């Protein structure tokens, strides 16, 4: 089977997140099952991207229509044109080809390849509230003007054989925002890399740090974490691992608080390094404001690290309604401070829950299982053609 995946940006771009990393891991798992896999990522024409040379799948970059790859680039919807052209070249002559897009970059694929089945996995953590059913032309025009990429995503979703969110919560959001009927929705969760499930949990030392890792953005709640942490007394060190628009502000905030000795900021690390940090961390603190799945949260639990996170999106789902981690309201620094105090006061209880979480995550989420589930959907889509 020839499988072509598409995704804006890439895991090696200056801007990257869970969607790009998940696309790479899914492609790797699909190739491991013996399929002919090719991925089309996007990048700006003069952007340097250092992709690994030993990828188990084919890699092609389509032009990102901007000088720099930015999430809010004005002409980003135009990426759909070069993506469709490349996908047509990769899949157009194959009777066993299927296309699987991760966002609005694939919206023109159905027109370029009318005989090839396609699937969609929307990887947006949330959608504007205005994207509900509209009837008047004026309202629709306004939506297209203000929320172009989401309306393109809706257009793609209307024509996809299956729409495959990563969680039940994301599925409900897609029904509302993209107007996809439930009978065409198939939930396929992400997996977890072996680096996290295989790491050995260290015996906690008295000075073991609290760890945050992920994009340094407001949506990840770094500001809330700093508010809560700076209000703690006798807190262990805090390590912030990641890159993004909020990194400079976080550094300024740490300096202003005179907390340089307690808070360490680090650039993004690869999976093996992240797993080692989690193995020796007192706790992972990930107070996101939105999550369609929660890769970082699942990775922390897979490593056996006690986790404090928020009750948004798919997080109640992946933490089994808080049985496997501490959930606090999003954006509530006081609630986060109380949760941190409680965990630091009873580390044994936190470790026992983390052991249960590790067992549960290891059984529920693997990239092989995700790839096998998608292969079944690809086969169904090809048969339905």
| CB-neighbour burial class of residue 242 (10 A; exposed 0-12, middle 13-18, buried 19+) | buried
Residues linked to residue 110 through DSSP beta bridges, in sequence order = none
Regarding whether 168 and 121 lie in a shared domain, the answer is yes
Residues 6+ apart with CB under 8 A from 87: 4, 6, 40, 99, 106, 109, 112, 113
* Residue-level length of the chain: 385
Contacts of 183 (CB under 8 A, 6+ apart): none
Residue 207 in tokens: 């000075």
Report percent pLDDT > 70 for the chain.
98
Quick one: pLDDT at residue 71?
78
Give this prediction's pTM.
Answer: 0.92
pLDDT at 239: 98
Check residue 49 and give left, alpha or beta (phi > 0: left; psi -120 to 50: alpha): beta
Tell whether 18 and 158 lie within a shared domain.
Answer: yes
Please give the Cα distance from 83 to 110 (Å, whole number).
Answer: 12
pLDDT band at 198 (very low <50, low <70, confident <90, very high): very high
Other Cβ atoms within 10 Å of 225 Cβ, number: 24
CATH code, domain with 292: 3.40.50.2000
pLDDT digits (tens, 9 = 90+) for 50-82: 999 999 999 999 999 988 877 788 889 999 999
pLDDT in tens, 9-27: 999 998 888 999 999 999 9
> Are residues 109 and 233 both part of a single domain?
no
From residue 15, give the alpha-carbon distance in Å to each of 18, 323, 340.
Answer: 11, 33, 30
**What are the pLDDT digits (tens) for 164-177?**
999 999 999 999 99
Q: Could you tell me if 6 and 136 lie in one domain?
A: yes
Residues 207 and 341 in one domain: yes
Please give the Cα distance from 258 to 312 (Å, whole number): 32
What are the tens digits of pLDDT across the range 262-281?
999 999 999 999 999 999 99
- Predicted local distance difference test score (pLDDT) of residue 207: 67
How many domains is the chain built from?
Answer: 2
Co-location of 254 and 293 in the same domain: yes
Distance CA 150, CA 77 (A): 10
Please indicate, yes or no, whether residues 155 and 242 belong to a single structural domain of this protein. no
Confidence of residue 129 (pLDDT cuts 50, 70, 90): confident
d(CA 169, CA 166): 8
The reply to whether 7 and 143 lie within a common domain is yes
Mean pLDDT of 244-250: 92
Looking at residue 93, what is its pLDDT? 77
| 233 and 147 together in one domain | no
Q: Tokens for 229, please give them.
A: 């942490």
Express each pLDDT in 137-172 by its tens digit.
778 888 888 889 999 999 999 999 999 999 999 999
133 band by pLDDT with thresholds 50, 70 and 90: low
Domain shared by 281 and 147, yes or no: no
Provide the residue range defining the domain that includes 68. Answer: 2-191+366-384
Specify the pLDDT at position 151.
92
Report the candidate in 350, 341, 346 with the shortest Cα–Cα distance to residue 229: 341
Query: What is the token pair recorded at 260?
Result: 């340089």
Q: Check whether residue 272 and residue 335 sit in a common domain.
A: yes
Rg of the Cα trace of the chain?
Answer: 21
Residue 284 banded pLDDT, cuts 50, 70, 90: very high
pLDDT of res. 146: 86
Domain shared by 105 and 235, yes or no: no
């Amino acid at each position: 089977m020839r499988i072509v995946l598409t995704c804006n940006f890439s895991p090696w771009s200056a801007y990257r997140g869970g969607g790009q990393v998940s696309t790479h891991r899914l492609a790797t798992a699909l190739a491991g099952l013996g399929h002919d896999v090719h991925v089309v990522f996007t990048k700006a024409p003069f952007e340097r991207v250092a992709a690994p040379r030993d990828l188990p799948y084919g890699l092609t970059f389509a032009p990102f229509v901007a000088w720099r790859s930015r999430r809010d680039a004005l002409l980003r919807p135009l990426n759909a044109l070069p993506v469709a052209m490349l996908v047509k070249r990769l899949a157009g002559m194959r009777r066993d080809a299927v296309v699987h897009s991760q966002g609005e970059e694939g919206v023109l694929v159905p027109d370029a390849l009318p005989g090839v089945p396609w699937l969609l996995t929307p990887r947006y953590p949330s959608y504007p509230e205005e994207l509900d059913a509209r009837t008047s032309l004026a309202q629709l025009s306004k939506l297209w003007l203000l929320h172009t990429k989401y309306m393109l995503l809706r257009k793609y979703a209307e024509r996809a054989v299956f729409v495959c969110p990563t969680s039940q919560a994301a599925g409900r959001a897609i029904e509302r925002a993209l107007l996809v009927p439930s009978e065409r929705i198939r939930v396929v969760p992400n997996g977890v890399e072996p680096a996290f499930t295989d790491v050995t949990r260290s015996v906690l030392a008295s000075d073991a740090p609290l760890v945050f890792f992920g994009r340094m953005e407001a949506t990840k709640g770094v500001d809330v974490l700093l508010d809560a942490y700076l209000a703690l007394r006798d807190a262990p060190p805090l390590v912030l691992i990641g890159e993004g628009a909020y990194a400079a502000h976080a550094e300024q905030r740490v300096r202003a608080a005179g907390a340089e000795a307690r808070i360490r900021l680090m650039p993004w690390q690869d999976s093996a390094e992240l797993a080692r940090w989690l193995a020796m961390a007192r706790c992972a603190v990930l107070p996101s404001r939105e999550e369609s799945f929660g890769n970082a949260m699942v990775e922390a639990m897979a490593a056996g690290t006690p986790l404090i996170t928020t009750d948004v999106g798919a997080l109640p789902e992946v933490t089994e309604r808080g049985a496997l981690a501490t959930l606090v309201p999003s954006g509530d620094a006081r609630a986060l401070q109380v949760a941190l105090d409680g965990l630091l006061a009873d580390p044994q209880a936190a470790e026992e829950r983390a052991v249960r979480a590790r067992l549960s995550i290891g059984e529920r989420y693997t990239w092989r299982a995700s790839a096998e589930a998608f292969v079944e959907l690809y086969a169904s889509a090809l048969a339905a053609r």
